[in-house]
């Protein structure tokens, strides 16, 4: 006897039986089967609506289902979908020009990649080729992608499972994690030990061996750890002092997410290289970019650029990106990110008064995360930073509740991310925050007073 199962169940079954899901044990997964998506919402086959409070993986910045991008992509495909990166296309040149216009300082030339990790890999290679030096300094609480080099550069504990094969010559430094300052200081009275620590590491490692310092333009999946106001400026000064390149990883923080074109713009700092992806095409197609200063670009006028990818400057992806960049401007999305970010900050402040499980909330534009604790005085996290998925019992319960109540968002370790599409309205924010408030009742039960 055949058992009839609904369309949605069959889709989920095929997904689970024939495909693998990232970062999880495969048993016991229950993904949402998304039938369609529009604006800030995902819809499943049973007609249930989920508010997308993390813009997918903080990439669908313009929102879902925008016909303008589909039209631009189709039009490009009718003309030329793909040619090798050795050929020139109109759309590639137009996009390069547009990126030069929105990039800070003298960052004028772009190498296109397929996603964020490849942008980081190529940024590291380019820094090494340009400087002739080999070491890269990066932060422990950062994620730069899941390929070997990018993963090594990050400090995210997900890399520990593949620890034996890490890329050589990456050195990590502590984060300016003010909520849990590694030096036990307070932001108002400290001497920026987080910066002098980096300088000591530079001296120990030998500035003559260090090609670049790699930092997210604004911290993302490691917990939106906000840089103290003058931190990146001091880091830039260190780079200048020791002749080290500054690479800003703007894969998550770039393209309007923080209320500026790039996260680093908020700090008034110009890096030597920007690596970006995600919001560049808003997830409509996979794409990434590496934007370099005219000085670095000029170096490769006379030296071979030993970098390349089959799909570099993919014409269809370029068309999607160009349209997405226009949409940011047409719809004033970057301004909206800033305004809505301030609104969220005020509203989460009210939630903090209600929910003792909220230890901290850190936000820039629409890149924010709530950090949950078991006790505000001891700051014991609701799940440890290196927790495996099945050690996140309380957080998993919170995540399940969010889903049940009609929210999709990124929940990991003791963080709940609030990073909705930049087109979100106040009413939609209210809807999302009331769902979070209800789910937080679960976490509150685990708070020791």
What is the binding site for ligand PLP (CB under 6 A)?
Answer: 57, 115-117, 120, 143-145, 216, 220-221, 249, 251-252, 277
Report in angstroms how near the CB of residue 179 gets to ligand PLP at its nearest: 20
Residue 338 and residue 259 in contact, taking contact as beta carbons nearer than 8 Å? yes
Tell me the residue number closest to ligand PLP, measured at CB.
116
Report in angstroms how near the CB of residue 258 gets to ligand PLP at its nearest: 12
Report in angstroms how near the CB of residue 317 gets to ligand PLP at its nearest: 12
Distances in whole angstroms, Cα of residue 128 to Cα of each of 11, 132, 231, 237, 290: 46, 5, 25, 20, 14
Report in angstroms how near the CB of residue 247 gets to ligand PLP at its nearest: 11
> Is the CB of 280 or the CB of 358 nearer to ligand PLP?
280
E strand or H helix that includes residue 367: strand 367-372
> Is the CB of 113 or the CB of 357 nearer to ligand PLP?
113
Report in angstroms how near the CB of residue 229 gets to ligand PLP at its nearest: 21
CA count, 13 A, side-chain hemisphere, 381: 19
Q: How far apart are CA 65 and CA 406, in angstroms?
A: 19
> Is the CB of 337 or the CB of 440 nearer to ligand PLP?
337
Residue 236 and residue 212 in contact, taking contact as beta carbons nearer than 8 Å? no
Pairing of strands 49-52, 415-418: unpaired
**Strand-pair partners of 50:** 42
> Is the CB of 251 or the CB of 291 nearer to ligand PLP?
251
Q: Which long-range contacts (CB under 8 A, 24 or more apart) does 231-234 make?
A: 231/176, 231/192, 231/194, 231/195, 231/267, 232/264, 232/267, 232/269, 233/267, 233/268, 233/269, 234/192, 234/195
> Is the CB of 287 or the CB of 361 nearer to ligand PLP?
287
Report in angstroms how near the CB of residue 57 gets to ligand PLP at its nearest: 6
Q: How far apart are CA 340 and CA 259, in angstroms?
A: 9
> Is the CB of 220 or the CB of 256 nearer to ligand PLP?
220
Report in angstroms how near the CB of residue 146 gets to ligand PLP at its nearest: 6
> Is the CB of 12 or the CB of 124 nearer to ligand PLP?
124
Torsion of CA 69, 70, 71, 75, to 10 degrees: 100
């Amino acid at each position: 006897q055949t058992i009839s199962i609904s369309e949605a169940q069959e889709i989920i079954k095929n997904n689970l039986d024939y495909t693998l899901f990232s970062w999880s044990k495969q048993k016991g997964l229950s993904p949402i089967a998304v039938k369609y998506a529009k604006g800030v919402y995902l819809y499943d086959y049973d007609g249930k609506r989920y508010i997308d409070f993390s813009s997918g993986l903080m990439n669908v910045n313009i929102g879902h289902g925008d016909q303008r991008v589909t039209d631009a992509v189709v039009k490009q495909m009718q003309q030329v979908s793909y040619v090798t990166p050795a050929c020139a296309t109109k759309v590639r040149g137009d996009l390069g020009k547009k990126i030069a216009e929105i990039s800070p300082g003298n960052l004028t030339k772009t190498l296109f990649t397929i996603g964020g990790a490849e942008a980081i890999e190529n940024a590291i290679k380019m820094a090494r080729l340009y400087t002739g030096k080999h070491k890269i300094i990066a932060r422990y609480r950062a994620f730069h992608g899941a390929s070997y080099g990018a993963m090594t550069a990050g400090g995210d504990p997900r890399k520990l499972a593949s620890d034996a094969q890490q890329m050589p010559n990456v050195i990590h430094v502590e984060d300016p994690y003010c909520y849990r300052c590694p030096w036990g200081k307070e932001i108002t009275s400290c001497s920026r030990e987080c910066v002098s620590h980096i300088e000591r590491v530079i001296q120990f490692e030998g500035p003559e061996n260090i090609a670049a310092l790699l930092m997210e333009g604004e911290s993302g999946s490691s917990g939106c750890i906000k840089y103290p106001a003058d931190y990146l400026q001091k880091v830039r000064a260190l780079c200048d002092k020791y002749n080290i390149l500054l690479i800003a990883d703007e894969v998550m923080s770039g393209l309007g997410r923080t209320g500026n074109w790039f996260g680093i713009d908020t700090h008034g700092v110009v890096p030597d290289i920007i690596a970006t992806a995600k919001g560049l095409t808003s997830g409509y197609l996979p794409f990434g970019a590496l934007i370099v200063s005219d000085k670095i670009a000029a170096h490769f006028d006379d030296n071979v650029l030993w970098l390349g990818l089959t799909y570099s400057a993919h014409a269809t992806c370029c068309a999607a990106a160009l349209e997405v960049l226009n949409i940011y401007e047409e719809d004033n999305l970057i301004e909206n990110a800033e305004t809505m970010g301030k609104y969220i900050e005020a509203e989460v402040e009210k939630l903090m008064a209600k929910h003792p499980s909220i230890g901290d909330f850190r936000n820039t534009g629409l890149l924010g995360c709530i950090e949950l604790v078991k006790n505000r005085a001891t700051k014991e996290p609701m799940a440890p930073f290196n927790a495996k998925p099945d050690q996140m019992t309380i957080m998993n319960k919170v995540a399940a509740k969010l889903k049940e109540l009609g929210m999709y968002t990124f929940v990991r370790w003791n963080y709940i991310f609030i990073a909705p599409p930049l087109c979100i309205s106040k009413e939609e924010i209210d809807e999302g925050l009331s769902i979070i408030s209800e789910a937080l009742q679960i976490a509150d039960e685990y708070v020791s007073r």
